[in-house]
Structure formats: structure tokens, C-alpha cells
Amino acid sequence: MLYVIGLGLSDEKDITVRGLEAVQSCERVYLEAYTSILMVDSNKLVEYYGKQVIVADREMVESESDTILADAQNINVAFLVVGDPYGATTHTDLVIRARELDIPVQVIHNASIMNAIGACGLQLYNFGQTISIVFFTDTWRPDSFYDRIKENRDLGLHTLCLLDIKVKEQSIENLARGRKIYEPPRYMTVNQAVEQLLEVEDKRGEKAYTSETLAIGCARVGTAEQRLISGTLQQLLDADFGGPLHSLVLVGKRMHELEAEFVKEFAVDRANFEEIVKKDYSH
């Protein structure tokens, strides 16, 4: 059996009971370690699960899936995913490959940012399409997310923005030269995401949002150190969210009054929050 197991959002104890039982039945356990991170070192997983954990980077998952699936017709193998296996990043490619090899697959779900974002006080069914924002470079500044945001905003829906992480990435020079030298990990902050959003709006000029658009910056959702800050995009530029992981929500114009009441509790400027809502949002 191949078990694809969600680990949740915080630490080694967020795994479900069923997930833990599955892990403990496995002869090999892999941890997918490039689309997201847990808030603890992988050694904590080893200690708590009582199993050695093989850290699987992008190269292994995308190019060496046969290694992960080897002999899984005869033994149990676990593939651990931060959040939910079918959450923000799906692993359908690995499941499809297992099926092609007639390996039984069982998926064990868990919390992901896609549902835990409800912690910000906005109703999940009022969210539109989720978008990803990647780090801009000097030569690559993609803005395809802008159209999705505009579609959501035109419908009055909230937009969850997932922010880029770079783990075990190579520089262009090292990649071109075939050198296995990796850059230090980088995690996009809410502040960086807002800077890029405003840059794209300046370029596109279609008013999908403005510097006065209400947004919620979210850090370490689902952990004891969770931090939520709401305000205009301009206000969030200088807010301190602490360490990773961060995400950002652009609030839709159909925000309900109960949502507004909840969001006000962690506003940068609580005294003027209602004025922001009255000016730009209808209940």
C-alpha cells in the first residue's frame, strides 16, 4: 500500500490518529519537503512516529518516483505531505504513477491552509479562486494571478494568496553548470507579496485592487504562534508578521457584517476600520 498522509499545519502532533497508525505500519516513510514546511525539524517526526523519515526534495518526487514506489505492492510505504495531500499542492502525479503500477493507494486527509484560512474570520464559501504569488526576479515578473484576482473581486469574493517558498533551489548559473549547489531557503512575507501586488496593479491599471483594498495578512496559521493582521494593503506593507509561513487574503466587496466584525479585532487601525469598510465595501 502507498499511504499519502496529510500532516496538518503545525508540528509532529498534528497528524491524525489514523495517519499515525498508517505511518507506524510502513517500512519506508518519505516527507515531501519542498511545497511547504512544518514548524518543527524532521527529527521531531522521527522521534514521535518511531520511524526513520526520508526527506524527499522536488528532484526525488518529480524524477525518482520509482524509488519512492519501489516494492510498494508488497510493503507499506508512506508519503507525508504538510497540510493536506490534495490541498494547496496536489500530489496526483504520484498517485497516478502508483495506480499504473497496480499499487493500492490510501489518502489520509488533514487540515490545510485551504480550510484553516477560516481562522481569519471570513466564510470559506465566500472565497473565489486561490492564487499563488511567486518571487519576482530582475528578468521574470509574472502577473497571471492578476486576472484571477480581478475575476474574484468582480464577483465580490475573497481571494486567498499563497506565497512562494524556495527550498533547495539552485541559482541559474549553478543549474546551467550542473553544480549541485543550493541557495539558502527563502519564504515570501506578506510585505513582499503586497509590494509585488501593488507593482502589478501599477502596470496593469485595471483596478482589480488598490493600495486601499482591505486585506488580511496571516502568519503561521494553525500554530500556537499564529498571527493575523488586517488593514489596507498600504497598511500591511509595514506590519510585522514574524517568521514563516505567510499567506494573504484580499477581502471581497461582499464582506458580510459578521465577517467585518471578526476582522476588525485584529485591524492595524481599529478606530478607523469601519470607515474603510463603509468606503469600499457593501454588506
Which residues contribute to the annotated binding site for S-adenosyl-L-methionine? 9, 84, 87, 112-113, 163, 221, 246
Rounded to whole angstroms, how far apart are CA atoms 244 and 38? 10
| Beta bridge partners of residue 231, listed in sequence order | 215
C-alpha cell at 228: 493575523
Is 33:89 a contact under the CB 8 Å cutoff?
A: no
Q: CA 138: distance to chain centroid?
A: 24
In the three-class reduction of DSSP (H, G, I as helix; E, B as strand; rest coil), residue 89 is classed as coil
Rounded to whole angstroms, how far apart are CA atoms 71 and 200? 48
Is 59:5 a contact under the CB 8 Å cutoff?
A: no
Q: CA 48: distance to chain centroid?
A: 24
Number of Cα atoms under 13 Å in the Cβ half of residue 249: 30
Inter-CA distances, 21 with 16, 24, 51, 81, 120, Å: 9, 5, 11, 16, 32
Is 23:81 a contact under the CB 8 Å cutoff?
A: no
Is 124:115 a contact under the CB 8 Å cutoff?
A: yes
Query: Among residues 195, 191, 175, which one has the least CA distance to residue 183?
Result: 175
Show binding-site residues: 9, 84, 87, 112-113, 163, 221, 246
Rounded to whole angstroms, how far apart are CA atoms 113 and 234? 24
